[in-house]
Structure 1
Amino acid sequence: MSTVTTIKTLDANAPDFNARLDELLAWESVSDGAVAATVAAILAEVKAEGDAALLRYTNRFDRVSATAVAELVVPAARLAAALQAIPAAQREALEAAAARIRSYHEHQKQASWQYTEADGTVLGQQVTAMQRVGLYVPGGKASYPSSVLMNAIPAKVAGVDEVVMVVPAPDGEISDLVLAAAALAEVDMVITIGGAQAVAALAYGTATVPKVDKIVGPGNIYVATAKRSVFGTVAIDMIAGPSEILVVCDGATDPDWIAMDLFSQAEHDEQAQSILISPDAGFLGQVQASINRLLPTLARESIARQSLSERGAFILVSDLAQAVAVSNRIAPEHLELSVADPQSLLPAIRHAGAIFMGRHTAEAVGDYCAGPNHVLPTSGTARFSSPLGVYDFQKRSSIIHCSPEGASTLGKVASVLARGESLEAHARSAEYRVRK
């Protein structure tokens, strides 16, 4: 295989730029007909049969031989033991990350509020946490303890009573790191199930798996399709697309740093997207040289190479103002402002999941331990979506408490509007409270 991977270059001032950018950003939906049909069958069986179907699918897909779903519930002592069993350096890193994530999300907590009008009517909002949340974590040989921390800790900070974590254990394999993270994040129940069947169990409930109010966490195409299918029965966090990074650089950052930042997303999977925007054409060439030199040193070289070749790009712009305009058009999941004065660009950034400021802020620290959540909107959805946070696990109820005077005043207004909509009972209900 050639050691050279040429990244396509787009010129933001070229006549065909918009068309080429649209082509670059295009990404197919998470599902197809065959996957949707398979998932629909699994959901229907688990909804109808509960534990029996869940056990059948788990034994089949994860190659285990459990005789009851209860056998798949991980004892709390096992979580505590995992935290003690992992190497000290890993435990300390998990503890440091958990502390920072918890501290950041404490700042997001919202309080209930009320105010009293002149006539004594009280209006307000009561903020309450969801009662039970389901967390999906990829399992087997894969280890994603950061996903456990990023999803479970905000839920606990929000005041969720119970966090139920599902994680598949194919061939009986499960990561101690994942279990240790669950212990640190104070997860209440861990069950070694996965796939669409686990999503169904969380959404509908079974004899063993409690029904939840919301399902969060990443998964494969079957998990994503199942989450989309059960939305409405339960809430979900989002349907995530491939991971993305967009780096805006003025040309003065070490090109090796930028190349590795691009790799940090490209190594996720072949569909991941890494884009560099700069007004310095020479710098783009330097980063290309760094890519060619450093890419062969990656353990996941083939994945990163395909990602960069098929979905990566350099975009040449006239200046940083144009760079920001292009960035807003893309609405990236991760945005690095690798420039001398990132603060000056910040007010113009309208759409980005997370913004990494300055040359020394690698996107990778946001994935693990900076504090802000790494569950971010992808595929341009940062135009209207936000990072996962405490607010995603809280609900808001409106409070209306009319005084006698307020009921009379508001009742007159409501009566007129209700009769205008030909809703007589609405009008008369309000009119009963109007003072004669």
Structure 2
Amino acid sequence: MPTTPPDASSSPQDPAALLRRMFDAAVASAQPALCVPPHLPEAPRGRVVVIGAGKASAAMAQAVEAHWDAIAATGRTLEGLVVTRYGYAVPCRHIEIIEAAHPVPDEAGLHAAQRMLELVRGLGPDDLVLCLISGGGSALLPLPLPGLSLEDEQALNRELLRCGAGIGEMNCVRRHLSGIKGGRLAAACHPARVLTLAISDVPGDDPVDIASGPTVGDPSTCADALDIVRRYEVQLPPAALELLRSGRGESVKPDDPRLAGAELRIVAAPRMALQAAAEVAREAGYAVHLLGDALEGEAREVGKLMAGMTRYVARHGEPFAPPCVLLSGGETTVTVRGQGRGGRNVEFLLALGLALHGEPGVWALAGDTDGVDGAEDIAGALLAPDTLERARQAGIRAADSLDENDGHGFFSALGDSVITGPTMTNVNDFRAILVQGREA
């Protein structure tokens, strides 16, 4: 039997339940109703236009309508539109909510992007554009440059998701083939003031990578994008290659005068979510060690690395003494080579479990805070010391599942998937490894 945390001896903790409470706390800390209102500005003299894109954008719009007292005091109403993932819409009175596809864009997203640009054209210096951005906005705002089609952008997204490129690399390519990303949306708003409130889902919280930076200047170049395409052998249509090679796909740069009135504030980020989870673990009597909120790399390789550290903690009490929790965030990648459904969190967890070999006293949970791991409406999964044994008894070979990139199939068959439904936020991946240690 696993040992009980010293400070929780009067009420032994269920490790699986504790991990789920930690995950739920991380998600709750980034809810728009909590993080958006403190950043709402004073009412401008002119019009207020609200736009946005991302899995949290509809909930952010709802928070704006509910809490922007400065606008209510003027007697004016808000106007605008935001686009979010199917199933993530929430009711708003004045801001139109459009649902579109993610991670591969569709016609609904294209029409939303076109209407958004039309909405912000012709504004003046007394007007304010409030832009609500969160993770997922890259796919939800497809607007191919002239010469490209929506089908081209759909094929590009599939290629980028398959090839194993990091999120920063994927977004670099997207910015240089888009008519709205890479600062182009903010440039279209000029001379109005643009205030972007962003919920970060990217390692390092670089604004240019949150939804591919539609309202911030982009220091990267077409040459950078072309280098990524070559490195990962991404198959692009001839027109897209020509845009990159000629430089005609160049994005808006940080020193562009049209961006002089643009400001961005990050209202929620992965580190904040991890800190909320850490507090839950500490209250349960566990020491918490934050290993970083920007871990990247192939999910299976990160899983192996974390397994080595975890075993050393469990067996030798170094560099951390159990009972403890190892927390991390960031965005790993999956190079899909098998016939499975992918999903970086379940791939990480499956590789972690294989490398741990049923290490006693170790549990783990990995999940995406938006409730969607890869293309599946499943946030992630839970790993227990007996996971591999239960799989063996069910006739499931964990190594085969990993080879097929089928972590979702593996954990679903065991009943260990973590399913949240739409969370209305997105602060990237959550990984928690709980180490109770071996019995004395």
Q: Same fold (TM over 0.5)?
A: no
Q: Which has the higher helix share?
A: 1
**Which protein has the larger Cα radius of gyration, Structure 1 or Structure 2?**
1
